[in-house]
Structure 1
Amino acid sequence: MPDPLTEALLRYTQGHPGESPYMTAIEGMAILRSDHPKPPSHMISRPAMCVVAQGAKWGMFGGNRLEYRAGQALVIGVETPSIGRVVEASPGEPCLVLAFELDLAILRSVAEELDPPPKAAGEAGRGVFVTDFQGPLADCALRLVRLLDTPHAIPTLHPVIMREICYWLLTGPHGGEVARITLANGPSQRVINAMQALRSRFAESIRVEELAAIAQMSPSAFHRQFKTLTSMTPLQYQKQLRLLEARRLMISSAFNVETACFQVGYESPSQFSREYARMFGIPPKRDAKQMQAVLQRDRADSNSAALSV
């Protein structure tokens, strides 16, 4: 027998037209359903929780691969490039994931109200980890999905449930790592401030020393804590941001390879093509053509479905 969260997610996906991800009436919350294993997909992950009700996935953050399955959740505390893949799914037992954004301001507010306050992890806490999602947390997830049946109650009850989720995260087995990310002027938050500067200026040549100054750290301490939070170096982080943006420009804006290369800060098209193929497994021109063909096919399928209604 499926558990209540699995049943609720199945009912939602069966009752709503369209394809995964299903964006819900709750801002920042989506339901993902996969009837088959899927190839890896690249994305920029925002602070969020991804709760697996059925099936299994893995996420790759730099060199750190994390697998999470039914009863577990991936907690992402920092905005970072990542690769995700569905590894267990079938039409009879689809992979079902409830994903919702985490508001670090709410986490910080809840942490400040706890007595005693949560004790932050040691010098370097991870920004991404897997945790069990059972008991009170599973109950919160189920109430979030059931809340979709009463949209008029969302503005009142959604913030309450999210504060409860923050409470259980902060008081759970990974509370120290969560608390460290939320500290207003702690080392992790200062690294996140530098990370935001790197994201906004990813196409520029920016030195680690400049980022370290933003984080109020020595370059060596900044480099170490950045890698602990994201599982990649600042240079690797910037490179993945550049390649993801180049891919978006070629697919959605029809930029050619050379124009996209220069737009995101590369000076050498040959270096760009090598690093692109290393990340996505295929040269940029061929990748853009294949992805554009997929988008055109999806649009045609959507138009056919609309005409048949």
Structure 2
Amino acid sequence: MKDLLSEIARLTKHSPVWPKQTALARVMITKGEIPQHQLAAVYEPMIGFTVFGRKTISFGESTVKAEGPSYYVIPTQVPATGKVDQAENGQAYLSLGLKINKQLLRSLLEDNSRRIQRSEDSQAIFATRATEEFVSAWVRLLRLLETPEDIPALASVYEREILYRILIGPQGQRLKLASFETGPQSQIHRAIQWIRENYWRTLDVRQIAEKSGMAWTTFHRQFKRVTGLSPIQYQKELRLLEARKILVHQGLSVREAAFQVGYESASQFNREYSRHFGSSPAKDAHLIRVESKL
């Protein structure tokens, strides 16, 4: 395992110290010191692999601590905050992200559905220790960066292997959640998309549940199973993330930003923003502008 991790470090040594898209279309490399505000975002369906150091991600009331080498699965779009810590031995933080290719995933499920481990439904996204087979597949994928002419032919082969290793491991059920096109899970994905596009509107969960063809309690349970958040928590985190962008980049007042993202009370917005990001809206936005030299 140590040699495999060292090979990943070698293959990524020229990456800059911020999230970087690579020649591998679905692979992202993140390393070094990462400002916390850059880790507060809506995460797309992905596999996160912490190679060195530790990444802490918070989804509502749930917190994932992925200490390298470990991985986690995000099966749908989820608003979250996070922070990274360097490894205790002085090794710089390094993580890899793989956007989930649903076509590859569905083809794997057709052939391997019986091999997926049965597990209790988990409402929180969690981290799993990486196996040698999982890390080996990542090494093969990253080596394509040295022979980019091979990427069109081989990238999907190694991505498929990474997905396969997850499917037959403890996170198989979590990864399976990303694949649904029909049934209750597909309705949850559609509801998530509606909330993302209409986050500033008043959220009537019972009405959305009815449109999804589910009882309110079933919808609520399935939504939290997929996202780790209740529908109301999901909307609140979207609103706060969007308000932060507005305050940093558009220069609106705190009151204007609060109303623009759907809050009816500026004082409630101040309380929830401060609790979520650790400082008041005005102070937080100022610090980000200074840090980002905006």
Q: TM-score, normalised by structure 1?
A: 0.85
Query: Aligned match of 2:212 in 212, 215, 228?
Result: 215
Partner SS, residue 274 of structure 2: helix
Give matches, 1:113-192, under 5 Å: 113-114=111-112, 116=114, 118=116, 124-126=121-123, 128-192=125-189
Gaps of 5+ in 1: 298-309
The answer to whether the 8 Å contact 2:57/2:63 transfers is yes
The answer to whether the 8 Å contact 1:169/1:178 transfers is yes
Shift of residue 209, structure 1, vs aligned partner:
1.2
Query: Aligned match of 1:104 in 90, 102, 105?
Result: 102
Alpha-carbon distance in 1 for matches of 2:113, 2:18: 41
Partner SS, residue 128 of structure 1: coil
Q: Tell me what 2:232 maps to.
A: 235
Give the counterpart letter for 2:211 in structure 1: I
Shift of residue 258, structure 1, vs aligned partner:
2.5
Q: Tell me what 2:84 maps to.
A: 86
1:250 aligns with 2:242: no
The answer to whether the 8 Å contact 1:57/1:85 transfers is yes
Give the counterpart letter for 2:12 in structure 1: Y
Give matches, 1:32-47, under 5 Å: 32-34=30-32, 41-47=39-45
Q: Tell me what 1:302 maps to.
A: none
Alpha-carbon distance in 2 for matches of 1:265, 1:219: 23
Q: Tell me what 1:194 maps to.
A: 191
Alpha-carbon distance in 1 for matches of 2:204, 2:28: 37
Which moves more between the two structures, 178-187 or 234-243?
178-187
The answer to whether the 8 Å contact 2:59/2:79 transfers is yes
The answer to whether the 8 Å contact 2:7/2:139 transfers is no
In the TM superposition, what whole-angstrom CA distance separates every residue of 1:173-229 from its partner, at most 9, and x where no partner exists?
332333344233243332222111111111111200122123321011111222232
The answer to whether the 8 Å contact 1:120/1:179 transfers is no
Which moves more between the two structures, 201-210 or 24-33?
24-33
Q: Tell me what 2:49 maps to.
A: 51
Q: CA 1:30/1:177 → structure 2, altered by over 3 Å: closer, same or farther?
A: closer
Shift of residue 142, structure 1, vs aligned partner:
0.8
The answer to whether the 8 Å contact 1:62/1:230 transfers is no
Which moves more between the two structures, 174-183 or 21-30?
174-183
Partner SS, residue 6 of structure 2: helix
Partner SS, residue 274 of structure 1: helix
The answer to whether the 8 Å contact 2:29/2:97 transfers is yes
Partner SS, residue 25 of structure 1: coil
Shift of residue 272, structure 1, vs aligned partner:
1.5
Shift of residue 10, structure 1, vs aligned partner:
4.4
Q: Tell me what 2:203 maps to.
A: 206
Which moves more between the two structures, 255-264 or 84-93?
84-93
Partner SS, residue 191 of structure 1: helix
Shift of residue 11, structure 1, vs aligned partner:
4.8
Gaps of 5+ in 2: none
Shift of residue 93, structure 1, vs aligned partner:
1.1
Provide the alpha-carbon RMSD of the alignment. Answer: 2.6
Alpha-carbon distance in 2 for matches of 1:77, 1:194: 14
Partner SS, residue 98 of structure 1: strand
Alpha-carbon distance in 2 for matches of 1:86, 1:155: 32
User: Between the two proteins, what is the percent identity of the paired residues?
Assistant: 32
Q: Tell me what 1:305 maps to.
A: none
Give matches, 1:60-79, under 5 Å: 60-79=58-77
Give the counterpart letter for 1:21 in structure 2: P
Alpha-carbon distance in 2 for matches of 1:58, 1:87: 8
Alpha-carbon distance in 2 for matches of 1:218, 1:78: 21
Which moves more between the two structures, 271-280 or 183-192?
183-192
Alpha-carbon distance in 1 for matches of 2:210, 2:119: 23
The answer to whether the 8 Å contact 1:261/1:269 transfers is yes
Shift of residue 70, structure 1, vs aligned partner:
2.0
The answer to whether the 8 Å contact 1:74/1:131 transfers is yes
Shift of residue 283, structure 1, vs aligned partner:
1.2
The answer to whether the 8 Å contact 1:76/1:129 transfers is no
Which moves more between the two structures, 251-260 or 51-60?
251-260
